[in-house]
């Protein structure tokens, strides 16, 4: 489809294999068309309508899954877990696992500012793909698709803290165990347009988690999740 900063982009068929679903080629292209690309191409349709539809499907599937998995949790807890599961951060993490940024059609300006790695663009594109699957195959296949993408996130939602992120959860877990507050260190390598950050979490003098990402906050979240698992055994 396109390349970013000289990176080779895999064929769209590879993306569909990763997604485990079939989509009509035109619908797939539409689901990947960001408004910046559409504007530069003369006002062709964007993925925003599909995103609107996918957001609704995602909310329903996530709510149903959490309702069934946690029969004893009150409505307030379920609402927080759903918010964590379908948050921009959570969906962007799913997109990065799929290397979805390699396939999104972006305008030149958005590409130059690394739009292919922005949480907002990545999460919106995940929702547009969910909308496309719903249009093509109906609710049952869309439900299965959402579960393939988000089951691990839905499972983890029950453990996330009040801040709905791993750094907050780790801080709460450390406080409960009286082991001192987590400390973070990070360093970046590479040129500005392709910088990679490595973050470490230190608790009680020991490195419990390490993460890498294209932004410091992403690296710290990954490191915090690793440390949370090490500290709690979950």
Q: Which long-range CB contacts under 8 A does 88-91 form with residues at least 24 apart?
A: 88/119, 88/120, 88/123, 89/119, 89/123, 89/165, 89/221, 90/123, 90/150, 90/153, 91/122, 91/123, 91/126, 91/127
Catalytic residues: 55, 127
How far apart CA 3 and CA 13 sit, in angstroms, is 16
Q: 43-98, pLDDT tens digit by residue?
A: 899 999 999 999 999 999 999 999 999 999 899 888 888 888 898 888 998 999 89
**124 annotated binding-site participant:** yes
From 3.40.50.1380, 1.20.210.10, 3.30.160.20, 3.40.109.10, which CATH number describes the 166-232 domain? Answer: 3.30.160.20
CATH number assigned to the domain covering 11-163: 1.10.1520.10
Segment 112-163, tens digit of pLDDT: 888 898 889 999 999 999 999 999 999 999 999 999 999 988 887 776 654 4
127 is in an annotated binding site: yes
Q: Note whether 220 and 170 are within 8 A (CB).
A: no
Predicted model pTM: 0.71
**How many whole angstroms separate alpha carbon 13 and alpha carbon 31?**
14
Within the chain, all domains assigned CATH 1.10.1520.10 are found at 11-163
């Amino acid at each position: 489809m396109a390349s970013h900063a000289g990176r080779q982009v895999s064929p769209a068929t590879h993306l569909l294999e990763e997604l485990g679903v079939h989509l009509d080629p035109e619908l797939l292209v539409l689901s990947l068309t960001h408004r910046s690309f559409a504007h530069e191409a003369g006002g062709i349709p964007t993925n925003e309508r599909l995103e609107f539809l996918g957001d609704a499907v995602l909310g329903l599937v996530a709510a149903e899954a959490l309702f069934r998995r946690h029969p004893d949790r009150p409505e307030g807890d379920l609402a927080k877990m759903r918010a964590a599961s379908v948050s921009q951060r959570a969906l962007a993490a799913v997109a990065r696992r799929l290397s979805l940024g390699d396939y999104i059609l972006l305008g030149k300006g958005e590409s130059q500012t690394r739009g292919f790695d922005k949480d907002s663009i990545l999460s919106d594109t995940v929702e547009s793909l969910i909308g496309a699957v719903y249009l093509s195959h109906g609710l049952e296949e869309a439900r299965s698709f959402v579960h393939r993408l988000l089951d691990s996130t839905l499972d983890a939602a029950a453990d996330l803290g009040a801040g709905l992120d791993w750094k907050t959860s780790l801080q709460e877990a450390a406080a409960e165990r009286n082991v001192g507050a987590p400390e973070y260190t990070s360093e970046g390598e590479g040129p500005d347009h392709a910088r990679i950050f490595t973050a470490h979490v230190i608790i009680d003098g020991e490195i419990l988690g390490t993460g890498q990402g294209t932004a410091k906050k992403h690296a710290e979240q990954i490191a915090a999740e690793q440390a949370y698992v090490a500290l709690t055994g979950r």
